[in-house]
Amino acid sequence: MYSQSAYPILRVENKDTVVVMTKAQAMAMNHRFLSMDSTIKAYDEAYKFKYFQYDQARKELACQDSVITELNRQLRIKPAFKKATQTDIFVGSFFVGFSVLMGYLTL
């Protein structure tokens, strides 16, 4: 009865939809579903691995950022090196000259 028609066939029996196909079509469909399932599982594992790498990089970057922030804060509080300006040199030489003058006057 079904040998002359093209498969799969969709028909309604007692308000239910039934798909009629050959055994080869059913095997091919099952093989495709299994293949797709393994692909989905592989993508899931790759996603988990990439998310783990992202999380580790984010934590490392946050740690480095906090270290840099702390170093910048400490440099603002107490600079390790400050370039001398002309005003600094003038005030320093004035202080040295004043100290020498005061030393001679107290003798």
Domain spans in the chain, listed from the N-terminal domain onward: 22-106
Judge whether residue 78 has pLDDT over 90. no
Q: pLDDT higher for 19 or 46?
A: 46
Q: What is the pLDDT of residues 51-74, one digit of tens each?
A: 999 999 988 888 888 888 887 787
R_g of the chain, CA atoms, integer Å: 41
- CA atoms of 7 and 38, how far apart (whole Å): 27
- pLDDT of amino acid 79: 60
- pLDDT of amino acid 72: 79
- pLDDT of amino acid 46: 93
Q: What is the pLDDT of residues 5-20, one digit of tens each?
A: 577 888 888 888 888 8
DSSP 83: P
Owner of token pair 């005061």: 102
